[in-house]
Structure 1
């Protein structure tokens, strides 16, 4: 059930509307409703959410289309709101650094930014960081997700509403669950899936930029087994697979980032797709699932990267996307 609320009260369930929450990719939600069903409560700063889940956000855009006879409302999801805050180095420092129990650290980073709407759990996780260093000017979302991942944890987000208390978004650090260690997902489970293990991708990219002949900008980018890209080779001889990437339209200072993007597209990769909803387990963003094909011997596991929650003509559906797919 999708709920409509303002900052102080729950208005009621959102009926006669199609709703989609793209939680962690676009980090936006959309509500489409026929003009005849629109109410004055469906406007800027109203909250739209599914109780006790992270499917929710605040309306920030209203489009009315008389031709198609509907109103479309959009806003950032809770993760989208976290993405639009920046972790900045303190004055006189090169980096922002934090120490302490995970939820205590999250509290100092998140609560001052959201005027009481976002509340961090007071539960002690028993896990701490010491002098953890954030990237310079990273988003609040990226910073805290990477910090938690370094400790085997993920971000848990749920909208809460209690009697006599305005609704709030409860945030906490929780351990990542690796379902691939609990359940071996295979064809024997009557689940359909697709796996692709591509090991003939490019591992040496020769990057050529502006200039002529000997004066031309040229550098080399190499893939390493841990997935990193470096300036010195790991794969040589028969194992080397090279390609030239020519880009004369990009300034030299930006050429490396463009080359990295290109190499990500063409290097070795594994893809894994499964209908997670049929597993019957409550998988969250950051949790890990895996599978095995006994015929080919391919086995792999990946983290859940995104969930798209939709309500269309009253029918609820969830689409799960894995990291890197």
Structure 2
């Protein structure tokens, strides 16, 4: 990648110049959604790197707010940490309005995201006023879910993804985080990364996953709700057992407060996480992919192909050089 510019700000958002060149940066997008920045103790400056200060790469998702500071006297290093912008969405909860079972929303997808975000972050987060052209009527938001999950569920329904960028508006001393629903891009036909393409790839075909999930919900003893879910031959999940004997791999999913409907919904999601999967990690330099975009990876040695969305990005900077690792995961 080209040399990257990382800017730091005061807690109020006023820019204070670039991050020190000696810094080591590690930003996770899609999994833990957090960051660590390591700097020399001699370069510590509370106004630049204190609690509440921001860092960002302009017009990208790489950034966040410093919430943790760790000092190590042996190495003479300071580690600054916190959640990324996406991570901050994970730590807000959407509740139903008082006296109602669910929050019900209607409008363009971006309008619905605007309503979900509301004033949760003050003026720091701004949802675009642009329209997707997709009108949604009476969208029922799940009860007590994270703000991120509430947004992601409606995006998944329409094959959209959440685009996050830190914007530096002209004429203002401080910037903001822009959120926007945009269509997922499928690069798999034009881009297949393999050893031949000289991309650094790791492909895993994992076949020791759980294929029988015993789901236990509300109730006590014999009255407890019990549901059995099974992975089918094609990888889908159903109620009829396909794998037997040594091929059966079982596990328990305990959701003690759930009725049968919620138990099945949660159990399906959990079994999808535990079942057989193909996984591909790619380090590439010729394109900037986003979470949700679809690419293909191929391992020539094992003749294994993975065609799936990007589910994680790891952005690192060391000695001024930036790298991005992409992770894909599949179950077919």
TM category (shorter chain) comes to 0.7 to 0.9
C-alpha separation in 1, matches of 2:125 and 2:274: 40
Residues 5, 11 of structure 1: 8 Å contact kept: yes
- 69-78 or 295-304, larger mean C-alpha shift: 295-304
The answer to whether the Cα contact below 8 Å between 1:288 and 1:304 also exists between their aligned partners in 2 is yes
Report deviation, 1:204. Answer: 3.6
List aligned pairs for 1:22-37, cutoff 5 A.
22-37=28-43
**Superposition deviation, residue 164 in structure 1:** 2.3
1:259 Cα deviation from its structure 2 partner: 8.6
TM-superposed deviation, 1:155: 0.3
CA contact under 8 A between 2:294 and 2:309: conserved in structure 1? yes
- Output the CA distance in 2 between the equivalents of 1:207 and 1:293: 36
CA shift, 1:156, in A, is 0.4
Q: Is the 8 A contact 2:209 2:249 kept in 1?
A: no
Select which of 8, 12, 23 maps to 1:4: 8
Secondary structure of 1:285's aligned partner: coil
1:312 correspondence with 2:323: no
Report the counterpart of residue 189 of structure 2 in structure 1. 181
Deviations 1:39-69 (A, max 9, x none): 1221011111111100000111122222321
User: CA–CA distance in 1 between the matches of 2:103 and 2:183?
Assistant: 24
Cα drift, residue 236 of structure 1: 6.6
SS of 1:305's equivalent in the other structure is strand
Give 1:87 shift. Answer: 1.1
| CA spacing shift, 1:242–1:4, aligned 2, 3 Å | same
Q: Distance in 2 between matches of 1:162 and 1:65?
A: 37
| Matched residue SS, 2:25 | strand
Structure 1 residues 164-313: aligned runs within 5 Å:
164-165=171-172, 166-185=174-193, 189-191=197-199, 193-197=201-205, 203-204=211-212, 220-224=228-232, 227=235, 229-230=237-238, 232-233=239-240, 235=242, 241-243=247-249, 245=251, 253=256, 267-275=275-283, 277-278=284-285, 280-292=286-298, 298-313=304-319
CA distance in 2, matches of 1:128, 1:252: 34
Q: Is 2:17 aligned against 1:17?
A: no
C-alpha spacing 1:267/1:124, structure 2 compared with 1 (3 Å): closer
CA shift at 1:125, angstroms? 1.3
TM norm structure 1: 0.82
Structure possessing the higher radius of gyration over alpha carbons: 1
Kindly tell me: are residues 170 and 264 of structure 1, through their superposed partners in 2, closer, same or farther at Cα, counting changes over 3 Å?
closer
* CA drift at 1:195: 4.0
Q: Return closer, same or farther for 1:205/1:191 CA change in 2, 3 Å cut-off.
A: same
Name which structure has the greater RCO, CA cutoff 8 Å, separation 6+: 2
What TM-score comes out, normalization by structure 2 length?
0.80
Aligned residues: 313
In the TM superposition, what is the alpha-carbon distance from 1:108 to its structure 2 partner? 1.6
Measured at CA, do residues 282 and 54 of structure 1 come closer, stay the same or move farther in structure 2, by a change above 3 Å?
same
Tell me how far apart the structure 2 counterparts of residues 263 and 107 of structure 1 sit (CA, whole Å). 32
**Equivalent residue in structure 2 for 1:121, among 122, 128, 140:** 128
Unaligned 5+ segments in structure 1 are: 209-213
* Superposition deviation, residue 309 in structure 1: 1.0
1:153 aligns with 160
For 2:76 and 2:58, locate their aligned partners in 1 and report how far apart those are by CA, in whole Å: 29
Q: CA deviation at 1:24?
A: 2.1
* 1:80 partner SS: helix
Could you say what the CA RMSD is over the residues aligned between the two structures, in angstroms? 3.5
